[in-house]
Amino acid sequence: MMKIAVVGTGYVGLVSGACFAEMGLDITCVDVDRKKIDALNNGLIPIYEPGLEELVKRNVEEGRLHFTTELTDCLDKVEVVFSAVGTPPDEDGSADLKYVLEVARAFGRNIKKYTVLVTKSTVPVGTAQKVKAVIREEIDKRGCKIPFDVASNPEFLKEGAAIKDFMSPDRVVVGIESERARKLMTRLYRPFLINNFRVLFMDIPSAEMTKYAANAMLATRISFMNEIANLCDLVGANVEMVRKGIGSDARIGSKFLYPGCGYGGSCFPKDVKALARTAQEHGYTMQVIEAVERVNEGQKSILFGKLQRALGDLHGKTIAIWGLAFKPETDDMREAPALVVIDLLRKAGGPGAGRGPPAIIFTSSPRFGSTTPWRWRKPAAGSATKGCITQVRCTKLQRAPMPSHSSRSGNSSGCPTGRNCSRSCATTSWSTAATSSTRKRCSTPGCATTASENNTLTAHNDTIPGASASGIVLVACTACYTYPAMRLAPRKPDAA
């Protein structure tokens, strides 16, 4: 059984370690955080990822997954060490490599036989050479001549689908600089080769650049589509129809063409900044990449602007926020658009804008009360939506709201979200309670979905002239309109 170590039990390290163990390897996960390691040894998972808790528990019980605070506990036994520590952004936007280099120093001080140190963290081009120099320095201090190799194996995991991405990857990118390292990494990834998954071997700088280029491309598509959605709002076009029209082109494809509140999380914001900074360090300006970041930062405040224009003065009003995490199926709030909306609401005097009373927050984030979507947490006593004049969606919808999210009269309330809306939607009053039994059809033209198929109908709305609107809502469904509109239908406060 091949033995490897994974340094860092954050999102990348823990998922990678658990998945490698599931493939039949003997894995030791290392972290300097004693509390985290103690928790993992007691079956407590520090992050939320669908299926991860069960995966860790199974492989611990079967003796393939171990946790320790000391790399030296396993270094003599392993053939490969993965470095999966954090690379937080520095003040100038560049990636902070201190943790990566700390792992390299510990590796150099303690190896006694040929071992490969593989960087799995997202790092700028040229990091491998810095890692190699640090290891060589530490070995020279010991007066030894121990062979080693460095490699790059960037991760391409989506939060919320990380286990699937790891076990059934689009591709595995491996940067190496020796045939010996290539043979070892080929043996490590043999199960993927057997299953015809693509393992792409290349030089290390190309592997390091591939990760940044991939994230920058996806971020560019998001910002591009947000710009198109904003223009659609102004000219009266339906961005959903536009998205389908351009996504049907095989040269473009449909993925990452959904407009919204802007991207967030631990990867895109940090990596876009770091890529732009790397270019600046080499005397080059990446104008497209820098524009992508500017558009994204501006997009996060557009939702608040629409809310303010519709309701006017927000002082003293209570607003429910649906979805705090930057995307569904995760509790990760790093760079989440919801944080910008909350901050702007606080400054505008709206109390329903965070964790302090009388805030009311709907969330699909497990960090705020549940690991199941559409559970809610509220600091104040009373009905979950009592007193709310509107609800703001800041995270992609995975399913329709539960009936408890409706007003007491049963009428669904529209709410602003990160989407431009079809102006052709039919105006209607919708009873959420009736959707499970009434075969009512989605009102979006061309969509054949009915309410009883999966109860996917969800309320959104088109233009509302002002805050005194009478709670008109429009109806569309998640089949034809996965993300609802960035339009507003102010709802009437529930009766006392």
DSSP secondary structure, 98-159, as one string: HHHHHHHHHHHHH--S-EEEEE-S---TTHHHHHHHHHHHHHHHTT----EEEEE----PPT
Buried b / exposed e over 74-110, threshold 16 CB at 10 Å, is bbeebebbbbbbbbebeeebbbebebbbebbebbbee
Report how far residue 464's alpha carbon sits from residue 413's, in angstroms, rounded to the nearest whole number. Answer: 13
- The strands making up 376-377's β-sheet, listed across from edge to edge, are 376-377, 360-362, 318-322, 388-393
Residue range 383-397, pLDDT digits in tens: 434 444 444 556 554
Q: What is the pLDDT of residue 444?
A: 42
- Give the amino acid at 339: L
Q: How far apart are the first and last CA of the chain?
A: 65
Report how far residue 396's alpha carbon sits from residue 208's, in angstroms, rounded to the nearest whole number. Answer: 30
Q: Which of 29, 261, 267, 394 is catalytic?
A: 267
Q: What is the pLDDT of residue 267?
A: 82
Q: What is the pLDDT of residue 494?
A: 38
Q: What is the pLDDT of residue 418?
A: 56
Q: Is the pLDDT at 184 greater than 50, yes or no?
A: yes
Angle at 266 (CA atoms; ends 276, 405), nearest 5 degrees: 130
Q: What is the pLDDT of residue 383?
A: 40
* Helix pair angle (11-22, 52-61), 10° resolution: 50
Q: CB within 8 A of 399, min separation 6: which ones? A: 373, 374, 456, 478
What is the rounded average pLDDT for all residues in the chain?
Answer: 74
Report how far residue 481's alpha carbon sits from residue 456's, in angstroms, rounded to the nearest whole number. Answer: 10
- Give the amino acid at 53: E
Name the region of 219 (left: φ>0; alpha: ψ -120 to 50; beta: rest): alpha
Report how far residue 23's alpha carbon sits from residue 55's, in angstroms, rounded to the nearest whole number. Answer: 11
Q: CB within 8 A of 130, min separation 6: which ones? A: 97, 101, 104
Report how far residue 305's alpha carbon sits from residue 493's, in angstroms, rounded to the nearest whole number. Answer: 21
User: Can you give the length of the chain in residues?
Assistant: 496
Among 154-168, 272-286, 400-414, name the one with the lowest average pLDDT. Answer: 400-414
Residue 210 CB neighbour total at 10 angstroms: 19
Active site residue 267: yes
Partners of residue 321 on adjacent β-strands: 361, 392
| Average pLDDT of span 271-291 | 93
Q: What is the pLDDT of residue 416?
A: 54
Q: Which residue has the tokens 């909306």?
A: 341
| Average pLDDT of span 284-299 | 94
Q: What is the dihedral of CA 256, 257, 262, 267, to 10 degrees?
A: 20
Report how far residue 376's alpha carbon sits from residue 361's, in angstroms, rounded to the nearest whole number. Answer: 7
Cα distances (angstroms) measured from residue 73 to each of 7, 85, 184, 234 = 12, 18, 22, 62
Q: How would residue 316 be classed by pLDDT, with cut points 50, 70 and 90?
A: low
Query: Which tops the pLDDT comparison, 467 or 218?
Result: 218
| Average pLDDT of span 106-116 | 95
In terms of DSSP bridges, do strands 80-83 and 360-362 run parallel, antiparallel, or are they unpaired? unpaired
Contact 107, 131 (CB under 8 A): no
Of 11-20, 296-305, 406-415, 421-430, highest mean pLDDT: 11-20
Residue range 335-361, pLDDT digits in tens: 888 888 877 877 776 444 343 322 334
| Average pLDDT of span 178-199 | 87
Q: Which residue has the tokens 């059984």?
A: 1
**Of 486, 490, 457, nearest in space to 233 by CA:** 486
Q: CB within 8 A of 283, min separation 6: which ones? A: none
